[in-house]
Structure 1
Amino acid sequence: MNGTLVGRSAELARLSRVLEAAAAGTAGVALVGGDAGIGKTRLATELVAEARRRGFNVLVGQCAELGDALPYLPLADALRGAEPGVREAAAAHPMLGQLLPGTESAPSAGLTQQRLFGSLLGLLAEVQPVMFVIEDLHWADRSTRDLLVFLSRMVQTERVCVVGTYRTDDLHRRHPLRSVLAELKRLPSVTHVELGPLDSGDMSDYVGTLGPVDARALGMIVTRAEGNPFYAEELFAAVAEGDTLPDGLASLLMSRVEVLSPAGQQVLRAAAVAGRRVEDELLCEVSGLPLADFEEAVREIVSRGLLRVRGPGYAFRHALLQEVVYTDLLPGERTRLHADFARLLTAPAELAHHHLASHDLAGALAASTEAGRQAERLGAPAEAHSHYERALSLWDRVPDAAELAGESRVALAFRSAVMAADSGDNHRAVAALRALPPTSEVSERLAYYLFETDDFDAAIAAAEHAVQTAFDQIALARALATYARTLLWGHRHAEVEELAHRALDTARTAGAKDAEVGALLTLATFTEIRHDMAAAHDLVETASAESTGDLAMDLRARFHHARIHYEQGLLAEAAEVADEGIRLAVESGLKWSTYGTDLRFLRFLIHYVAGEWDQAESVAGGFGARVGTAPEATLSSFALFIEVARGLPAVEDRLSWLRPFWHDALVAYISRGLAAEHALWQGDPATALDHIHATLATLDPGESGTIRIAAIGLWAMADLGITEGADDLLSRARFALTTGPVGEGGQLGPEGQAWALRLEAEWHRVHGRLDPDLWREVVTSFSYGFVYEEARARWRLAEALLATGDRPAAQAEWEHAREQAGKLRAAPLEAALAEFGRRARFGTGDPEGGLTAREVEVLRLVAEGLTNREIAAQLFIAPKTVSVHVSNILAKLDVSTRTQAAAAARKHGLLA
């Protein structure tokens, strides 16, 4: 490879900016596309060198032209070639350790792909800063493409840079990478660089770096290369060796092969059949040459730059060369060489590839089946499905297929359908299962997948058949549990309780722990819908008491156990269970699975409600603002609870990213509801009310979330001084309490009850009535542990008490609220309390002028002459937050300048 980079300074600068951002803590992805030989690898190599200079750990993996035969090949390649410290860290993660050489695959424990992805995220976090380069994505297997999408969406604040290269000229209309690239290019974290041909000036400069060449030859090379550096290198080499220039690139490449000795050509042809890379020992065996002759031939090939030494073997210097040599083989020669590789290989996926190419269908079927099982164990369901489908396609053409596969065709087809579903293709799984004999096991899985695709009537019919055809008690238990689940949300929900109890009894008798827990969780959900929270809690506690061996089921049980504690106001208990679930998710690599993510959402809310805002803000740091899907938008929305309450500058940016997802009811409920609060703190109640009406439009009238949103809307109306529409908001919220789902014989939890009381108090405030007794009830209701809402309620209670003339009681509530807000560093609430205290003239005679501990810190730095930005840097807070504190200080000390504030601080002895 030429040592000088020519004509790519602009592209390198763009990629360097991605690397710089990663070094600073903003992860990014760079996709580098271009025709074969255009310089993608050369550019990536330059970036790798820069990353190493910056102290990055560098992982480089290459895809191979084996389709989906070897899942995660570039990841395995990168880990094998990593620095020893990185390999040791990878080996500590069981799922990643299986990709390292000499490690046996462990039996699957379920959700293995998610566990592998989670383990990789954990590794990247441990060894950051890190650059992960995936070369030749146009050959990537399905799992590697999934991994690229996962990393592009999940890495946010980690010091991670992911770089992928691919050939644009290989991307035909139906190429699977096309849709992936289209999706990724829309993400704000992804930078796309496409390399075009070098212009004639750059090409001349580039050829000049290769060595001396006369003007005639230089002009010919530049013209024939057409801006492609690799073509130029090949043309230059041909000229240097005295060859005449061939008409086409294939002829050009073959002209360099044909100058090899017969032994050299024999070895190179064998290497071309192996693929882009091949191990030394294997190549020697297939070449059929004596060891001394083989080594001499390889030395000749390497010296001419056709193969490069790569680890324990060799790699073609460019894929085009391998393709040209392979294409030049005679049909019989190609078949015989594939058969030789198949005879020597033991890796099932590669073995299947060579068996099929050599027309050994029996060997291909056996190897494909074993490759599918291996992919299953590695957590690559898409590849497992592909291998099983290949085996099934060969079944009718191979005698004794069942003996070769080690199982019946029906069993293999069932396994293939389950793998299709695990890889996200429920529709294909449904189609495959419908083609099988409708056994109880098949019908149970069919019902499950139909339910997931919202085909509820068909799901119920399949579940009924699964129950009717169950061949033993374990099958019956699973069928009954799934049957109860399919009825949970439909018009036959009244049958769920009896079915779930029957499933539970059957599962316990049969010892089917997974079915038992599934039945308990379905029963708990049914009981919760009926608003018997205590009974639902008991059921979930039972479900989560023991491990089932099914990680997904165990995480699901822990999530619901923690959630029910939380909804009953038992914050400490909820935190303990959530922490246990999160530990399980992290240890098993399922941090980013559905319930691994939900547990972290819940843990954030527990921190938020309990007033542990520094911990909550730390958790929210992983909730990226840059979003591309509705689930990511939901995750990002949660961070607004803290950002709005603390008045952090990140609010506006996050809302701008979330705005396109406000059609989603959950995203709108969280983010628009908090956007309304943000507008209220900014003194814009009209905008707040617009957000409230828009949010309510996305909620069903009876949803319990209506209560909180309506209460915030009444706050906005009170600030606007209008009453029109207040009764409508109150009526809609009361409907949720009395007529909607909440009112169907159940009761709200502590938080819901507190919001219902606040709703009434806010409605009275809209009509000019400040009722101390009602606001005192609100304070008491939130005092179960919701620190922030208790402080906000005390603010309103202080206003109500002052309006009735009870000044001492008002000041006591004000001071209590101010203390709580100060501990939380809830700057907007602190500002509102400061303004209220100034108007009420509270704090007179107070030696600190009513300043909070944080305000005293800020005042001392103001007195030292620091600017807001300098104060922010010293206290690790936002400049905007400093500005709020300074305004509060000036108001409380009744001064108008920073100099006067410093003088007042000295007078009161606050600078000691």
Structure 2
Amino acid sequence: MTKPAEQADTAAMGSNPVGGVRDDGLMPSDWTTTEPLVGREVELQRLLQAAGVGDREARGGVLLSGDAGIGKTRLLRELAARAADDGHQVLAGHCLDLGDSAIPFQPFAEVLVGLDVATREAISEAMPPLGPLMWGAVDGAGVDRGELFSSVVAALELLAASRPLLLVVEDAHWADASTRHLIRYVLAQRYEGPVRFVVSYRSDDLHRRHPLRPDVAEWSRLPGVQRLELGPLGDDEVRELVRSRATAGLGAPDVTAIVRRAAGNAFIVEELLDVDDQEGPLPSTLADLMLVRLDRLDESGRQVVRAIACAGGQVTDELLGAVVDLPAATIEEALRSALDHRILTRTRSDGYAFRHALLAEVVRDDLLPAERRRIHTAYVRALLDDGESADVARHAFEAQMPDVAFTASVHAAEQATRVTGHEEAAQHYERALSIAESAPDGTDVVDLVIATSEALTASGYVRRAFGVVDDFLDRESAGLSDHDRGRLLVAYGAAALMADRQVEPAQAVERAFAIVPEQPTPLRASLEALAAIVAANERRHEDAIRWATQAVTLGQRLGLTRVVADAAATKARVRARIGDDPAGDERRFLEVAEAARESGNIVAELRARHHLAFHYHDRGDLDIAEREFLSTMDAAAKAGRQWAPYGFDGRFFASVTAYLRGRWDLVVELGDVSALRPPTVHAACLEAVGLLVSAGRGETDALSTAERLRDGFWKKDIALAIHSGTAAIDLAPDVVSAERWHDDLVKTLASDWAGELAPARLRMAGLLVSRYADAAPHASSVERSGWIENAARLRAVGDRTIVERGPFGLEGRAWSMRLDAEILRLRWGAGEEVPLETMLSAWRETTATFAELGHVYEEARSASRLAAVLHAAGDVAGAKQVASAAFEKAADLRADPLARQLEQLAGTTTRSSSSDRAPASTPAVAGEKPLTAREREVLDHLVEGRTNGEIASMLFISTKTVSVHVSNILAKLGASTRTEAAAIARRQQV
């Protein structure tokens, strides 16, 4: 019987396993590919070339190998489709896993039986030895084997006389001896006509004594025969496969788990998509299928493999000898057998590991509890003296040796911290904290709690960092000294700040001041520095400067460089807000950053650079702000803190700033972080900014992403909620849905973030009233009346927001103007008398303010409203001028819905619609819009004929990012294909 892994692979070939041709000579309709081929671009091109597709003079054969479920059949389907498009006849036969009941010549009989009756009759008459195979007597009894073989070759020649022939034989690892001999004979022939031959087999089945193994070695030496090994999919390709197959949205952790567990195997990816808990046990059918491999080993082999499964990675001969209670010679023989059956593989450091990590997981889960503890205890004893602390800790936990596990975990955390492995350090600290009752006497558990919180913060898990301290305070604070409680409260307040908690930071400061005496101690200095940050966040500027000054003074006295840098950064931030010395603000931030860098205080340096970037942002220098945000992001990544506060903020606010500046492709690139394994909330925050781009480009299917973010993340990050919620107001299919998104966001801001009057209310109101205004001309009088009343209420809320949360900068003023202008447009669309001069003034001011801000999209969108009013006022020339200029911006953004509106307002076809051209709207003449440095790098590789996947690996970026760059290159060069772009580049030396 065909095994499940192969059923998933061969099912794509059609439920009827017959590879014959239709009456028109083409492949059967059930061979038609229904889903796009993911990855495999390089392998497909090699296979097409080796199989002679596109080359009428080519002859020969291909041996295609790969593990079960790796995607051989899917690749063959694509080959078949391309070959059929090229005019080939495509025939396919399958070897079947029938054990001792194998049918001789099964794949060839399958091919012949599948031919139409007229063709079979013609072949039977010309080649009588094929009659038994063609009409059901598959065993070929009474037929001379030599005549049979030569008749098969003659039949292939006959079929190829009318058009090229591609013959595929699948699953040759199950072929009987007769079939293998016939395959060898067919491969060895020199055909007159265009006959091409592809044989596929499972490489992981070819153990040392497998009968196909010597045959493959022999076939490979035949003239014109090539071998192609199909390896695992890359991580990016697995993610793409998951996205293409998943019927419901999967979160980043689920996708990451599938990538890790599937290890590039397409069949396993498909199976894991049906698992509810991606970190939980495998489906029993998949686990049983994988465990079948162990049945090929004897008991010693299974014992060795089980021990390696518990190792958690590769194992050396020496370690294995210390763990497995078997003679060295027996262990060596067991290893040789496991290698031969392709269960294990050799590592570069002369160790052993599972070829597929999921098999190790299945073997480990299949162990009895006592058996597992015994193996892990043996590992602890072998590693205790000179093994890695992380390895000792892991085995000690599994062996239920908590005292050993605690000490080893703390040591492992300290080692990870020294090499900026903050996420690993956090994991070790958390595990140590979970068994703190087993800590040695004299252990400072408060210090362990603080270290755990700091490691979690450094790795980006700020909410968990807060939770660790919060939980310990709730459980243990009663038995602590005032000094230890004060230390915990300072850590609690700092963690609460990073987790965007609203009230806890101030509460922590108040409680800490009640028990920390006003004495020159490091704890007092840290508390004053924390009090300065809390006061600054509450805009109590005088208090903030006072506490910061005291913290700096005390910190300098005690040599506390971190406290000094933190307090100095807070003081510089407050001075910049006050605005009493604009010329000195930039200098102060730079001085703090440099002092922190010289002292090795990366956190303070990142914080100062973060504040400097916002300093530029707030004064409208968006280009400099974006550069500084990106610089902060890069500096954090080098320090292993790319997901920590300020490090991730650099990426996030660079993305937001790039959105404002109209650099939307950079937004997409910065948001493409799945391969970097970010914390879930961080990935969701970047998705939220990306939704703004989707909204501008009219990608309505992105609304499902907004729904997922609303349901799972709005309570976890206020900026995430605002960006995804406002994008959804634009993406919503109708006014009712837009209102629902607006109201849901208001509720979240009020209930979860104490932000009923958050500054974003102006933006939210402007977008919703815009939807009202768009729909007003076609709405009922009742609907119009209700919308006008709600718009007035929204304006009133906006006024309260300005009073209580203002004064606002340029962006806040722009959205306030936009709201007023949209209300006027709504009233106008509802039939009220609105003076056109009032409308013109409102939209001119709005457009100009967004232009001053540098918000490219909203400037263009406001300009579209202005152009419409100008047209209504009779200024057709003015309307065209405004619309044409705005169209250029919208087209460059690929904001197709807005571009189409502006094109109509311009009254002429300004350019071809961006939906009918390359993704970016740019001049066709190379050089009129120059390529960026990165685009030139991509173009150089494109000219050399490399695929997106190859370019991605060479430039250390994702395939998706390469695709964006290629799209931009095509547009800037005015090319419609990669080949044309390469030709233009060569001709013009771009």
Shift of 1:750: 1.8
Distance 1:726 1:618, change over 3 A: same
Matched to 2:657, the amino acid is: I
Give, in whole Å, the separation in 2 of the partners of 1:273 and 1:693. 52
Matched, 1:748 2:805: no
Greater RCO structure (CA 8 Å; 6+ sep)? 1
Give the corresponding residue for 2:513. Answer: 464
Residue in 2 that maps onto 1:612: 663
How far has the Cα of 1:459 moved from its partner?
1.6
Paired AA for residue 512 in structure 2: A
Cα gap change, 1:502/1:344 in structure 2, threshold over 3 Å: closer, same or farther? closer
Deviations for 1:406-427, whole angstroms, at most 9, x for unmatched residues? x877766765676688773544
Q: Distance in 2 between matches of 1:450 and 1:366?
A: 29
Q: Distance in 1 between matches of 2:643 and 2:609?
A: 15
Map 1:267-306 to 2 at 5 A. Answer: 279-282=316-319, 295-299=328-332, 302=335
Structure 1 position 580, deviation (Å): 1.0
Give me the whole-angstrom Cα distance separating, in 1, the residues matched to 2:591 and 2:542.
23
* In the alignment, structure 1 residue 726 sits paired with structure 2 residue 814: no
Q: Evaluate the alpha carbon distance shift between residue 669 and residue 344 of structure 1 in structure 2; reply closer, same or farther with a 3 A threshold.
A: closer
Contact 1:518/1:553 (CA < 8 Å) preserved in 2? yes
Aligned counterpart, 2:844: 776
Q: In structure 1, give the amino acid aligned to 2:532.
A: A
1:706 has 2:761 as partner: yes
- Would you say 1:152 and 2:255 are equivalent positions? yes
Check the 8 A contact 2:37/2:74 in 1, yes or no.
Answer: no
Q: Which residue of 1 aligns with 2:910?
A: 852
Would the aligned equivalents of 2:528 and 2:550 in 1 still touch at CA under 8 Å? yes
Deviations 1:287-322 (A, max 9, x none): 999xxxx54454455578799785545689989799
Deviation at 1:749, TM superposition (A): 1.7
Q: After the TM superposition, which of the residue ranges 825-834 and 11-20 deviates more from structure 2?
A: 11-20
Q: Which of these residues, 177, 195, 219, is aligned with residue 284 of structure 2?
A: 195
Per-residue CA deviations over 1:737-758 (Å, capped at 9, x if unaligned) read: 4x43x33595322222222223
> Does residue 581 in structure 1 map to residue 643 in structure 2?
no
User: What does 1:506-545 correspond to in 2, within 5 Å?
Assistant: 506-523=554-571, 543-545=592-594
Matches within 5 A, 1:863-878: none
TM-score, L = length of structure 2: 0.53
Q: How does 1:602-751 map to 2 (within 5 A)?
A: 602-620=653-671, 632-648=683-699, 650-655=701-706, 657-658=708-709, 660=711, 666-667=719-720, 669-678=722-731, 688=738, 691-692=741-742, 695-696=745-746, 698-699=748-749, 700=755, 702-719=757-774, 720-721=776-777, 722-726=784-788, 728-730=790-792, 732-733=794-795, 735-737=797-799, 739-740=800-801, 742-743=802-803, 746-751=806-811
Structure-2 separation of matches of 1:710 and 1:611: 22
For the residues of structure 2 that align with 1:375 and 1:701, how far apart are their CA atoms?
42
Following the alignment from structure 1 to structure 2, what is the Cα–Cα distance between the partners of residues 338 and 481?
47
Q: Distance in 1 between matches of 2:965 and 2:448?
A: 63
Kindly report which structure 2 residues correspond to 1:786-865, keeping only aligned pairs within 5 A, or say none: 786-838=855-907, 850-855=908-913
Q: TM-score, normalised by structure 1?
A: 0.57
RMSD across aligned positions (CA): 6.0
**AA of the residue aligned to 1:481:** A
- Does the 8 A contact of 1:271 with 1:277 survive in 2? yes
Gap regions ≥5 residues in structure 2: 14-33, 43-65, 77-232, 240-250, 750-754, 778-783, 828-832, 920-962, 972-990
1:8-87 equivalences in 2 (<5 Å)? 8-10=5-7, 21=38, 46-47=68-69
**Contact 1:51–1:131 (Cα < 8 Å) also in 2:** no
For residues 661-702 of structure 1, the C-alpha deviation after alignment (integer angstroms, 9 at most, x for no partner) is 5965655543343333345xx8x5565455545545555553
Equivalences, count: 660
State yes or no: 1:370 paired with 2:411: yes
Structure 1 segment 321-470 matched on structure 2, within 5 A? 341=382, 345-350=386-391, 370-377=411-418, 378-379=421-422, 380-385=424-429, 388=432, 393-394=437-438, 415=451, 424=464, 426-430=466-470, 432=472, 434=477, 436-439=480-483, 441-449=487-495, 455-456=504-505, 459-464=508-513, 467-468=516-517
What is the identity, as a one-letter code, of the residue corresponding to 1:794?
A
Partner of 2:68, secondary structure, is helix
Change (3 A) 1:607 1:408: closer
CA contact (8 A) 1:764 1:770 kept: no
| CA–CA distance in structure 2, aligned partners of residues 592 and 162 of structure 1 | 29
Give the % identical residues. 21
Within 5 Å, which residues of 2 pair with 1:255-266? 256=299
Indicate the residue corresponding to 1:98 in structure 2.
none
Q: Is the CA contact (8 Å cut-off) linking 1:273 and 1:337 kept in structure 2?
A: no
Residue in structure 2 matching 1:760, options 810, 820, 842: 820
What is the CA distance between 1:578 and its match in structure 2? 1.5
Instruction: Classify 1:149/1:480 alpha carbon distance in 2 versus 1 (closer, same or farther; 3 Å).
Output: same
- Tell me the distance in 2 between the aligned counterparts of 1:321 and 1:820: 58
Shift of 1:359: 12
Render the CA deviation track for 1:803-828: whole Å, top value 9, x for unaligned: 44444434433333334434444322
Equivalent of 1:501 in 546, 549, 552: 549
| Aligned partner of residue 196 in structure 1, secondary structure | helix
Give the conservation status (yes or no) of the 8 Å contact 1:446–1:462. no
The Cα of 1:831 is off from its aligned counterpart by 1.9
Question: Are the aligned partners of 1:270 and 1:287 in contact in 2 as well (CA < 8 Å)?
Answer: yes
Structure 1 gaps of 5+ residues are 26-43, 55-125, 133-147, 169-180, 187-191, 199-226, 239-255, 839-849, 862-872, 882-912
Contact 2:576 2:585 in 1 (8 A): yes
For the 8 Å contact 1:342–1:354, the answer to whether it is kept is no
Question: Distance in 2 between the 1:803 and 1:494 partners?
Answer: 53
State the secondary structure of the residue aligned to 2:283: strand
- Give 1:196 deviation, angstroms: 2.8
Q: Which amino acid aligns with 2:868?
A: E
Partners of 2:644 and 2:71 lie apart in 1 by 35
Q: What one-letter code is carried by the residue in structure 2 that aligns with 1:779?
A: T
3-state SS of 2:836 partner: coil
| SS of 1:747 mapped into structure 2 | coil
CA positional deviation for 1:574: 0.8
Give the deviation of 1:52 after TM superposition.
Answer: 14
Residue range with higher mean Cα deviation, 413-422 or 500-509 = 413-422
Residues 222-250 of structure 1 show CA distances to partners (whole Å, capped at 9, x for unaligned) of xxxxx78858975x988xxxxxxxxxxxx
Instruction: Note the C-alpha offset of 1:475.
Output: 3.9
**SS in structure 1 of the partner of residue 414 of structure 2:** helix
